[in-house]
Structures are given as C-alpha cells and as structure tokens.
Amino acid sequence: MAVRTKIAGIGHYLPDKVVSNHDLEKVMDTSNEWIIERTGIEERRFADRKKETTSTMGTEAAKKAIADAGITADDIDFIIFATLSPDYFFPGSGVLTQRQLGLAEKGIGALDVRNQCSGFIYALTVGDTFIKSGMYKNILVIGAETHSMGIDFTTRGRDISVIFGDGAGAVILQPTEKEGQGILTNKLHADGREAEELSFICPGSHSGIHDDETDFGFSGKPFDPIFVTQKMLDEAHLYPYMNGRHVFKYAVKKFPEVIMEVLGEAGKSPADINLLVPHQANLRISQFVQKTLRMRDDQVFNNIQKYGNTTAASIPIALSEARDQGRVEEGDLVCLAAFGSGFTWGATLLYW
C-alpha cells in the first residue's frame, strides 16, 4: 500500500477568559439575541494580553498534540504554522514556536501560512505532501489566532467584533501504510477577484501606489513611510472589513462544492461521512451546508457557539474537541472543510 499521512496526535488550547454576548452589550450597541440569531455565537475566549500570544497558545496546543502522538518535541522535524494574527509582522510565529519548544538549536524548518480561514487546510495539505514525499516523518501543524488584539470593539465595528475569538489547535502528521487510515485527498481553491470583500488592508505596502484621492494620506513620494496615518485612524482602515452578506452567499456555494469534490475523488458520498468538521465561520453557514448535503446532526460538529470564529484555529480546535468527546474513532471517515478571505477554500478527506 502507498504511504498516506495520518494525524498521529491532536490537541488544542483556549484562553481562560470567557467573553459573553452580554459582555459585548456593555461596550457596543448590540444584543445577545441579535448575535445568536445571525451567528449562533453565545461566547468566545480572549487571550490574556500580558502572557498569551498567538505563538504561545500555538505552543501549548502543540505540546498536547506531541504528547497525544506519544513522541517528544525532539522528534519534530518540521513546523507549519497557520495564522492571520502572528506575534510580529515578521518573523512568523513558526520560528517562535520552534524556540519555545526548545528546537531552535536543532535547526528544523518552520513555515508560516497566511491563508486566514482556510489556513489550516492549506497547511495540512502542505504537510501531507511533505510526508508522502518522504522528506519528513513528524510534522507539527498549528492553527492559532489572537483576534482580540486587532478588532474594533465599538458599535462601528460590531458586525465583525462579535464574531471572532482566540485559541489554538495542533496536529502531528506521520506516515502510515495501515489500511483504512490517513488522508485520502485534499482540494485547494482560490478566487482573488473579490479579495477586498473580506480583508484587512492597512497598513500595507499597497498604500503608496494609490493616486492622491485614495492614497490614505500619503503624498505618493517614493520614500514616504507606509505605516499608520491619521486618515487610516479616522476612517477605521486599521480594522478588518467584511461584506458579510456577500461572504455568506459565496461560502454556502463553495463549501458544498469542495466537500463533494473530495468525496467524488474518493468514490464516497455525504452519507459515508462519519463526521464533517467545517471551519467555524458562522453557525448559519454550517447549518446551510448540512442541509444542502442532507447530512444528519450527528454527522456534523460545531462548537462556534462557545468559541466564536477562531479562523485558522477553528478546525483543529473543533477536531480535537470532537475526538475528546468520542465523536471520532479509529477508521471513521472525516471531512474537514474551510472557506474564507481571499477568497480561498479547501477540503481534506481522511480516515482517522
């Protein structure tokens, strides 16, 4: 049998701080009922800014995944870190986790993936390819986010700020030749034509190339600094933007399409799936996808109600929780799927 990639260990980490919808009612014009009706979210976790960062949360999730796989950190030979909220603009969080795990002197490679909501699926696919090629034997894949440090907690920003939360999940990938185990197929897609419909564009290197009317306060001179300007502050360009209705319409189309794509390649149908773990973007999206694919409640796992949208971390957190709750057992057919900014989307089909 050809070598496949298995998830040999899994773990997740969530900050202790719970922020309920009622907490958000105190700082913006919103309500618990409004948030639940539109997103399904009841609460989320926020990191402790004095001691928790994206990389430290990722490291804690990694430690659990390493222990779950029955290996030590020294066995790791490559790290892939998916996030849209790294500790620093650069370097990436992968090298910080490498250092925190005591692997810096070993010199193993660390790759960061910046694909936002689909980041974990993209990272998993890269890891799968490395394992199948024989290049690495124990790959650590992390999805982690600290959204709370960069969203607008006012009425102006409520459409976004009520959705997101912080957390991390991690898996260990290893080769396997066991029948009925491992990744069957991955599919990745992107459509950049509407990239700005879900984006965080300032500050960025693009700003200096605009004309005088759209340059966000720059004169256009080649040596002007491209950082924060007063216009960016006044017009809220320093916060994420999302055209919610447009994203919803695109997501409920592409989610089922890519799930059916991986199922079709493997000769399977939605009825064969033991558990679908969708990216936790919005409970209403997950419910729409479930209805479209005619899947039962016991076939789909959602935990956005408790944690909000943790972007690149949402799938590994949900998959880890599902395993801990006995929702995933050896030999089960599991489908992971995500859609998000870019637009980018993808799916992975595997035997547990």
pTM above 0.85, yes or no: yes
Residue found by looking up tokens 């419909």 in the block: 197
Of 262, 278, 240, 258, the C-alpha closest to 345 is 258
Residue 309 among the catalytic residues: yes
Do 164 and 20 lie in one domain? The reply is: yes
Q: Is residue 187 part of a domain?
A: yes
Which among 115, 186, 303, 309 is annotated as catalytic?
309
Mean per-residue pLDDT pooled into runs of 10, the chain (352 residues)? 94 98 97 97 97 98 98 98 95 98 97 96 98 98 96 92 97 96 98 90 63 48 62 78 90 97 98 98 97 98 98 98 97 97 97 98
Indicate whether 214 belongs to any domain.
Answer: no
Mark whether 155 and 116 lie in a shared domain. yes
Selected catalytic residue, list 21, 117, 202, 237 = 117
Residue 49's CATH number: 3.40.47.10
Annotated active-site residue 274? The verdict is no
Tell me which residue range forms the domain holding 287.
Answer: 182-195+241-351
Together in a domain, 14 and 144? yes
Indicate the SS3 state at residue 134: coil
**Are 110 and 257 found together in one domain?**
no
Q: In angstroms, rounded to a whole number, what is the distance separating the alpha carbons of residues 61 and 71?
A: 14
The answer to whether 3 touches 132, Cβ cutoff 8 Å, is yes
Phi/psi for 75 (5° steps) reads: -80, -15
Amino acid at 92: G
70 and 103 co-located in one domain: yes
Verify that 165 and 263 share a domain, yes or no.
no
Q: Give me 246's structure tokens.
A: 């447009």
Does a structural domain hold residue 202?
no
Domain match, 167 and 190 both: no
Whole-number Å distance between alpha carbons of 179 and 210: 56
Calculate ∠ Cα 316-332-303, nearest 5°.
Answer: 35
Name the domain count of the chain: 2
Distance in angstroms (rounded) separating the CA atoms of residues 152 and 158: 7
Catalytic residue selected from 21, 279, 282, 335: 279
315 part of a folded domain: yes
Q: How far apart are CA 73 and CA 336, in angstroms?
A: 26
